[in-house]
């Protein structure tokens, strides 16, 4: 099996950015400009490498230092590329932990599988017009002119060598398990499970009642982090061939808080020596009475205006800590104008209030991706 950490190190040490490999310190797929830049590089790497995999690594500085990035969802990356590219290549995004990084950071590894079809933009994104194709000229992703695409068949030999020297060893497998146990102290109860006598899965989490938090799950064989949750509560289910994580959001107001299920991640292991990761969005929408929602919305509007104007002496800080979630709940319960108020609140909340915004934004984005009716 390929050790993805060794693969990243081999790419960083042995090659500069080139026709089959690019690196970025960060990416932003929340804005049109950020999406266009990211998809452009995927398009270019795909077109220039019809015979070998190509790679985009996220969390590497210009000085080749491993700086890391936040955990990113493979499904979100795939959805973006599929929606944006004609003849989209088969891609995989993996979060690769390194011992030098903080616990909540990983290096993102995007692997682009080879294909002969030409990849191009389906539609206009930011300033890149629909129909535009990109390719690699040296270390740059540039538009194709006159249908003259630069394709590097010889990269196959180079990439095969890089992969050859990135294979796992028993020593690295054992080192990976011991490293995981050093990362998480006893309060997080780190442990390992062997699935189908092939895959070593390490996981840890802080348990409180029926729920775990700060859950970290890795496949040690490949050095891949499959799941990380720094704030949400989760439940764990384990069988002989399945590791299932169900995420819950703690939502409500006043005395009405409780856990609501919203996403299931299922890691399945089969007899032929492979595993798959599937996600199921299954949000249980909080339901409240219309009168209490109207009251909550009006109070949130009033306090939000005070925060926006800086009238700090008049603000009810206890109420405003969850003001973004208040707008979120109001929108879920039929007050359409609350959606704009929710996004506007990100301009004036900080600290714990900003954490509430990020949690609710994630759920709302998933609702929209899955066309979940609200």
Q: What is the largest CA-CA distance in the chain?
A: 68
> Can you give the pLDDT at residue 351?
86
How many CB atoms neighbour CB 269 within 10 A?
A: 22
Question: Is the distance from CB of 92 to CB of 110 less than 8 angstroms?
Answer: yes
Q: b/e string for 211-231 if b means 16 or more Cβ within 10 A?
A: bbebbbbbbbbbbbbbbbbee
Q: Which domains does the chain have, with CATH numbers?
A: 4-164 (3.30.950), 170-281 (no CATH), 290-369 (no CATH)
What tokens does 157 get? 């030999």
Residue with tokens 């959001």: 249
> Can you give the pLDDT at residue 202?
98
Tens of pLDDT, residues 21-33: 999 999 999 899 9
> Can you give the pLDDT at residue 1?
81
Q: Where are the beta strands (DSSP E) in the chain?
A: 21-24, 54-58, 69-70, 85-86, 91-96, 105-112, 120-121, 134-137, 140-143, 191-195, 199-208, 211-219, 224-229, 233-238, 242-251, 258-269, 275-281
Q: How distant is the alpha carbon of residue 282 from its chain centre?
A: 18
Residue with tokens 């609350």: 338
pLDDT beneath 70, residues of the chain: 14-15, 370-374
Q: How far is CA 216 from CA 110, 201, 352, in A?
A: 20, 10, 22
> Can you give the pLDDT at residue 371?
61
Tens of pLDDT, residues 65-92: 999 999 998 888 998 999 999 999 999 9
Tens of pLDDT, residues 265-280: 999 999 887 899 998 8
> Can you give the pLDDT at residue 314?
84
> Can you give the pLDDT at residue 273?
79
């Amino acid at each position: 099996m390929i050790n993805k950490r060794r693969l990243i190190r081999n790419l960083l040490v042995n090659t500069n950015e080139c026709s089959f490999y690019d690196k970025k310190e960060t990416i932003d797929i929340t804005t049109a400009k950020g999406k266009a830049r990211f998809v452009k590089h995927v398009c270019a790497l795909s077109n220039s490498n019809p015979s070998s995999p190509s790679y985009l690594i996220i969390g590497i500085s210009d000085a080749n230092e491993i700086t890391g990035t936040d955990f990113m969802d493979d499904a979100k990356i795939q959805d973006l590329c599929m929606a944006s590219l004609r003849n989209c290549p088969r891609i995989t995004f993996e979060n690769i932990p390194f011992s030098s990084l903080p616990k909540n950071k990983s290096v993102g590894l995007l692997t682009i599988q080879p294909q002969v079809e030409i990849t191009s933009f389906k539609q206009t994104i930011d300033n890149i017009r629909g129909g535009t194709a990109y390719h690699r000229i040296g270390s740059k992703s540039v538009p194709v002119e006159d249908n003259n695409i630069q394709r590097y068949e010889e990269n196959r030999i180079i990439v095969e060598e890089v992969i050859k020297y990135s294979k796992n060893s028993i020593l690295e497998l054992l080192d990976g398990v011991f490293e995981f146990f050093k990362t998480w102290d006893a309060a997080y109860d780190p442990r390992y499970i062997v699935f189908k006598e092939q895959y070593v899965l390490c996981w840890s989490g802080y348990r409180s009642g029926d729920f775990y938090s700060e859950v970290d799950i890795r496949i040690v064989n490949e050095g891949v982090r499959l799941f990380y949750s720094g704030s949400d509560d989760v439940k764990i289910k384990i069988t002989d061939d399945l590791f299932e994580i169900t995420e819950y959001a703690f939502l409500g107001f006043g005395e009405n808080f409780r856990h609501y299920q919203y996403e299931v991640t299922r890691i399945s292991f089969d007899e032929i020596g492979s595993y798959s990761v599937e996600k199921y969005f299954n949000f249980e929408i909080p339901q409240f009475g219309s009168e209490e929602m109207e009251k909550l919305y009006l109070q949130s509007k009033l306090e939000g205006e005070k925060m926006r104007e800086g009238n700090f002496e008049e603000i009810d800080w206890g109420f405003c800590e969850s003001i973004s979630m208040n707008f979120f709940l109001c929108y879920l319960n039929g007050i359409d104008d609350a959606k704009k108020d929710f996004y506007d609140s990100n301009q004036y909340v900080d600290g714990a209030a900003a954490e509430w915004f990020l949690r609710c934004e994630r759920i709302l984005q998933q609702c929209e991706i899955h066309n979940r009716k609200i």
